[in-house]
């Protein structure tokens, strides 16, 4: 009985700590792109989904394209809705607990929750991952945001490379998943670069969603059987 409770907690805390410290990269990138410390921290507290946060920071650095940046950031959060579909039966069904649990529906919590053998362990795993990663991610966001401003200019620290390197690390496991994934990634990059000179900042990235549409129409089934849980990455 005790052992059944140890595993989900251990899994969740380990993954949460390992991934949560990446908040330092987000905090540094956000302040490097022109957000202030409070904005970086509020985004980590309230949005709490890494790819969207990095995307919005990139849009702020780009200057004029805030509307496009917001749209792109929200679009990037759409996969969390899919995770919610898979977790709906395992998480609290109603009330304030459901509203709080929803905030924790991200890559890592989904991975740990779906890996557990029963509902009790799944809920425990979800809770352990959510709490650990939420505390770590927000604390390290604060550290990164403060540190970036103190240490020197963003350019001299290479902070302009943090965003693209983070995105690359995020899609890397997905690019390895199959030919369609690689084709969609390449097409998305080409669409965005080709339209950048002609469109307001942020719009080229949203247009890249057409690459995903094309991929879904041409190849509706993944090449290999879907793994039971998503790849852990940053939240």
Partner 1 sequence: MTGVWVAVLVTAAGCYALKLTGLVVPRGVLSNPRVRRFAELVPIALLAALVAVQAFGAGQSLTIDPARLAGLGAAVAALLLRAPFLVVVVVAAGTAAVLRALGVA
Binders of partner 1 among residues 104 to 163 (CB under 8 A) are 104-106, 155-163
What SS3 state is found at 200? Answer: coil
Does position 227 interact with partner 1 (CB under 8 A)? The reply is: no
Quick one: 1 or 226, whose CB is closer to partner 1? 226
**Minimum separation from the CB atom of position 2 to partner 1 (A):** 30
Quick one: 2 or 228, whose CB is closer to partner 1? 228
**Minimum separation from the CB atom of position 53 to partner 1 (A):** 8
User: Could you please report the per-residue DSSP string of 155-223?
Assistant: TTTTGGGHHHHHHHHHHHHHHTT-HHHHHHHHHHHHHHHHHTTTS-TTHHHHHTHHHHHHHHHH--S-S
Q: How far are the Cα atoms of 141, 178, 202, 212 from residue 43, in angstroms, in the given order?
A: 10, 33, 18, 27
Quick one: 33 or 116, whose CB is closer to partner 1? 33
Residue whose tokens read 């200019």: 153
**Minimum separation from the CB atom of position 1 to partner 1 (A):** 29
Interface with partner 1 in residues 20-49 (CB under 8 A): 21-22, 24-25, 34-36, 39, 42-43, 46-49
Q: Give the interface size with partner 1 as a residue count (CB under 8 A).
A: 112
């Amino acid at each position: 009985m005790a052992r059944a409770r140890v595993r989900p907690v251990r899994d969740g805390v380990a993954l949460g700590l390992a991934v949560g410290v990446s908040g330092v990269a987000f905090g540094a990138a956000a302040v490097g792109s022109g957000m202030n410390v409070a904005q970086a921290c509020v985004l980590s507290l309230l949005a709490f989904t890494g790819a969207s946060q990095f995307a919005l920071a990139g849009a702020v650095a780009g200057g004029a394209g805030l509307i496009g940046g917001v749209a792109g950031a929200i679009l990037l959060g759409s996969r969390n809705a899919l995770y919610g579909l898979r977790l709906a039966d395992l998480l609290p069904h109603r009330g304030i607990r459901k509203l709080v649990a929803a905030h924790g529906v991200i890559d890592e919590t989904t991975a740990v929750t779906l890996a557990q053998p029963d509902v009790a362990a799944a809920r425990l795993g979800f809770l352990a991952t959510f709490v650990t990663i939420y505390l770590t991610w927000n604390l390290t966001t604060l550290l990164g945001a403060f540190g970036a401003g103190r240490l020197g200019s963003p350019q001299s620290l290479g902070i302009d490379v943090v965003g693209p390197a983070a995105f690359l690390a995020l899609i890397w496991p997905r690019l390895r998943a199959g030919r369609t994934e690689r084709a969609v990634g390449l097409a998305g990059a080409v669409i965005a670069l080709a339209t950048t000179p002609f469109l307001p900042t942020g719009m080229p990235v949203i247009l890249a969603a057409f690459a995903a549409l094309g991929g879904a129409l041409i190849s509706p089934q993944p090449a290999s059987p879907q793994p039971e849980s998503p790849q852990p990455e940053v939240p």
